[in-house]
Amino acid sequence: MINIDKIKYPHINHFYNAEPNIEAFLGRKLYVQEKLDGSNAGFYLNQKGEVEIRSRNNTIADGTMYKWAKQCGIIPSVKELLENASEWGSEYVLFGELYGTGKSPTRVQCYDKPFFVAFDLWSSKAGGFVPYVNAYQNCYHFDIPFVETALHGSFSTVAHLQANLEELLDVAREKHLEGYVIKTWDVKQRDMDNWGVTKLPLMFKHKLDTPRLEKILSVKDFEKVVLPVLPESEIYGAINRVKMDGLCKDFRDIKEAMPAIARYVGEECKKHNCRSPPNLHRFYLEVLKDG
């Protein structure tokens, strides 16, 4: 059996703090995939052969995610894919975005029904995430929707890459997307012993609300450094993860919810070199209002 505790989807940095650096993506074949605004879900089989769902941080997701998965009817197809993998000597974890009815986590979309879109496939036999074409084909054979690739190819300079991504943001704005995730599997294996995966694509994201480089830092009087406020999409995303990770027995209890929200938002601030908004409580109330 796989150790699902160590198989979770990695954090993705922005263009300006891509790891190991943005130059590492030059000259490699890149896949620019639409960044979807849902809840990160990982489907896998438990010891009884039943389909389980992990959230971004927890191996057993909140009951809401299970409800969405059942409502959209994706579980039978996912179960077939996972069982087929085991027949061929591998175990899979299928990662994607799971959506519920109503406003999306970062509030850029509003959905009239639950649905699921896959974007990556982890394989025990491969020792990590499989390349794009392999993941797409696996999902295609079992009628599982896979994220759209808006652009693919290689770029010789950072300016060339950035110019293409900026043009795509106009498309993202029209389609009400968050932006894009850029991935390449054209790399040597990376050691990810902290969560047990050795094969991981290099990737970064480029979003509509990402602060541009010249806006990240400004120096005021007394040489005080002022960081930009964390983008609203990241704030709402952190609040959604509090719900999906099941950190609160009663999410509507402000005394229970706000400390967890503050912690998750604080973690995002560190990742994105930003500061928390002065009125974080307002975002929580907006989410409550939506139900």
- What is the pLDDT confidence band of residue 208, given thresholds at 50, 70 and 90? confident
pLDDT score of 19: 87
Higher pLDDT, 12 or 223: 12
Q: Is residue 217 predicted with pLDDT exceeding 60?
A: no
Q: Are strands 92-99 and 115-123 parallel, antiparallel or unpaired?
A: antiparallel
pLDDT score of 226: 64
Higher pLDDT, 25 or 223: 25
Q: Which domains does the chain have, with CATH numbers?
A: 11-207 (3.30.470.30), 213-290 (no CATH)
pLDDT score of 48: 93
Q: Is residue 1 predicted with pLDDT exceeding 80?
A: no
Q: Cα(269)–Cα(282) distance, rounded to whole angstroms?
A: 17
What digits encode the pLDDT tens for the residues 134-160?
A: 999 999 999 999 999 999 999 999 989
pLDDT score of 196: 44
